[in-house]
Amino acid sequence: MVREYVDHTGAVAVYAEDDEGRVLVIQQYRHPVRLRDWELPAGLLDMEGEDRLTAAKRELAEEADLEADTWEPLVQYNTSSGGSDEFIQIYRARNVRATASAFDREGEEADIVTRWVPRAELVEAILDGRLHNSALVVATLAVDAAERR
């Protein structure tokens, strides 16, 4: 039997919260699903020698012009075990503030939209089927479950 799958570098995502407990979501066009999807700041582990936490910090700065003082691993999961070896590590970032300067975005990142959303609204939208991005779904439900413990 021959199996085909995507050999993936891995990725990171950031579940960033402000002082009011709202979550940063970004919206950008995603060609495979042909829509502008709401998601967490995220990116590939494609820089030689870069560890996951450094990559997460870089992605938060590049996609949202933010940095954070407090970082903790939230959850790691395989995105599609039947078709890819990709694992994504999601970090929870708190004590968030603007970076000293804005990142010069181009290409698909040039028109990123950012929004701060209360976690309860994200949970409701996930359960109503209005949010589909796996990292956003997994992270939001993980934080919600952890906060209820």
Percentage of the chain modeled with pLDDT above 90: 64
Q: What is the mean pLDDT of residues 119-144?
A: 96
List C-alpha distances in Å: 63 to 39, 113, 141, 147: 11, 9, 23, 27
Looking at residue 61, its pLDDT comes to 94
User: pLDDT, tens digit, for every residue of 83-120?
Assistant: 777 789 999 999 999 998 887 766 667 678 999 999 99
Catalytic residue list contains 109: yes
CATH of 11-148, one of 3.10.20.30, 3.90.79.10, 3.30.410.10, 3.90.1300.10: 3.90.79.10
Confidence of residue 19 (pLDDT cuts 50, 70, 90): very high
126 pLDDT higher than 90: yes
Phi-psi category of residue 21: left, alpha or beta, with phi > 0 → left and psi -120 to 50 → alpha: left
| C-alpha 14, offset from chain centre | 4
Residue from 39, 43, 37, 69 nearest 56 by CA: 43
Length of the chain: 149
Q: Are 140 and 42 in contact (CB under 8 A)?
A: no
Q: Are 140 and 23 in contact (CB under 8 A)?
A: yes
Residue among 109, 121, 124, 147 flagged as catalytic: 109
Q: For the sheet containing 35-39, what is the strand order? A: 35-39, 22-30, 113-118
Q: Are 83 and 24 in contact (CB under 8 A)?
A: no
DSSP state of 14: E
